[in-house]
Structure 1
Amino acid sequence: MTLNVSPPTSGVRPARRRSPGWLLPTGLIVFGLIPIAANALRRVAMAVGPDGSASGGDGGMPLPAVLHVLGATVFVVLGALQFSAGLRGRRPRWHRVAGRLAILGALLAAASGLWLAFAYVSGSSGLLFVFRLLAASGLAAFIVLGFRAIRRRRLPAHRAWMIRAFAIGLGAATQVFTLGFGEQLFGEGELSIALLNGAGWAINLAVAEWAIRRRPRRIARAGADWARRPR
């Protein structure tokens, strides 16, 4: 006589399917590079005529704009890779080195952003000038606070400040959509342009705060484990 004995199934939960670790960093990089690619295409169009010959237009960029694009690109690419838990776990040294390079890129983007704001103050409204000052200053402040937090081994605070900084860094990408759709609805007046630019940063910061508060306990446990890890 044969008895068919099935293994107990009570209390056993099916394994969760995790999303690929590369999905979020790749999406952030692609999204962050949208304004950089769009600006590059615009510069090419200015320098090349409709028939493919040189149009004589000025396709060059002023120095602060070049520095801003360079810093923003480094920050967007290396900053997005910091969201990969796999890279952080498997290559902690790479995480630290890339993080420091991302910080330098962010500070360069913030400083050149301030330079651009003052250089083109006469060509923008007062409100837009204020928004640009707040964005550049906020980016620099969040980066400094995030770096200070990690030096003190406060991982949850470090993560929160860096997410906020990255949200500001992605502001130009969101503004592609707020300006692109908003101008069709509200026109191209100085006030609407300023508010649509500000909306890009505001939307990103709102999403950042949601992400920071999504799983605070898990981050706090990870921070405690990291703080106890021998250096």
Structure 2
Amino acid sequence: MTTTAARTTAPSLPLNRLAVAGLLVLAAVPILGGAMRLGDLSVVTPQNARFVTDPVPIVIHVATSVVYAVLGALQFSRDLRRRHVGWHRRAGAVLVPAGALSAASGLWMTAAYEFPPADAGALVVIRYAVGAAMLVQLALAVRALARHDYVAHGAWMTRAYALAMGAGTQVLTQGPLLALDEIPDWTRPVGMGLGWAINVVVAEVVIRRRARVRG
């Protein structure tokens, strides 16, 4: 039963729409970046030679990440859930495989490609950790769904989506550094790691806020 306090604490529909719009804007960042990366495959340069010679993992990663980013944002829409019965379940049937392929292809790219010095070392470790964590979270979300534990399912899906959207937040955490004349190599893993860390914190805040509303 939903209490009066829970109803008054629940986010308004306009606020929910604003949040979904914000997620779609954030999703546009990796989508545009991926599109540019795929477009660059037509011409071999020293920067993209590793992708041209072995394009399969990056093509899979970009394609599945686009699907995951957009569908994931729309899964938060209360409008879609109310107006289209079954939307959440049908979209989820696509979302989970897309997320798993996005994470797996990210791990594949990390293992297969030779990265420049700024992307090596600590950033490789972080990428492995993020990719593995996302796969585990998706697996836990599926297990929770099989057990009809919809609260845990939503929490794990939220965590996985937050990690996937790190690419969007990283524009904010790394963007200011691009104005510097010389960018030390250490700023790359710090900037990217901070983007993922911010999303993890935001996801936990959202999950705990849901718990308070239900309570």
The TM tier, using the shorter chain, reads 0.7 to 0.9
Question: Measured at CA, do residues 198 and 17 of structure 1 come closer, stay the same or move farther in structure 2, by a change above 3 Å?
Answer: closer
Structure 2 equivalent of residue 75 of structure 1 = 68
The structure where helix makes up a greater share of residues is: 2
1:175/1:75 Cα in 2 relative to 1: closer, same or farther (>3 Å)? Answer: same
The one-letter code of the counterpart of 1:118 is A
1:22 is aligned to 2:11: no
Within-5 A mapping of 1:119-134 = 119-121=112-114, 123=116, 124-134=119-129
Indicate the residue corresponding to 2:137 in structure 1.
142
Residue matched to 1:31? 26
Q: Is the 8 A contact 1:146 1:161 kept in 2?
A: yes
Residue 196 (1) aligns with residue 191 (2): yes
Is the CA contact (8 Å cut-off) linking 1:35 and 1:176 kept in structure 2?
A: no
Deviation at 1:31, TM superposition (A): 1.1
Unpaired runs of at least 5, structure 1: 1-12, 48-55, 221-231
Q: What is residue 173 of structure 2 aligned with on the other side?
A: 178
The aligned counterpart of 1:88 is: 81
Asked if structure 2 preserves the Cα contact closer than 8 Å seen for 1:65 and 1:112, the reply is yes
How far the C-alpha of 1:57 sits from its partner, in A, is: 4.7
Paired residue for 1:154? Answer: 149
Structure with the greater relative contact order (CA < 8 A, sep ≥ 6): 1 or 2?
2
**Which structure is larger by alpha-carbon Rg, 1 or 2?**
1
Is the 1:71–1:105 contact (alpha carbons within 8 Å) kept by the matching residues of 2? yes
- Letter paired with 2:22: G
Q: Which amino acid aligns with 2:100?
A: L
RMSD (Å), alpha carbons:
2.7
How far residue 82 of structure 1 moved from its aligned partner, in angstroms, is 0.8
Amino acid corresponding to residue 88 of structure 1 in structure 2: R
Determine the structure 2 residue equivalent to 1:64.
57
1:104 is aligned to 2:97: yes
Q: 1:44 to 1:215 in 2, by over 3 A?
A: closer
Q: Deviations over 1:136-162 (max 9, x none)?
A: 111111111111112212122111111
- For structure 2, the residue ranges without an aligned partner over 5 or more in a row are 1-7
Q: Which stretch has the larger CA shift, 179-188 or 165-174?
A: 179-188
Question: Matches of 1:42 and 1:116 in 2, distance apart?
Answer: 14
Aligned residues between the structures: 198
User: Paired residue for 1:208, among 179, 191, 203?
Assistant: 203
Q: 1:212 Cα shift? A: 0.9
Paired with 2:115 and 2:63, the residues of 1 have a C-alpha distance of 24
CA distance in 2, matches of 1:216, 1:175: 28
- Cα–Cα, structure 1 residues 119 and 181, in superposed 2: closer, same or farther, change >3 Å? same
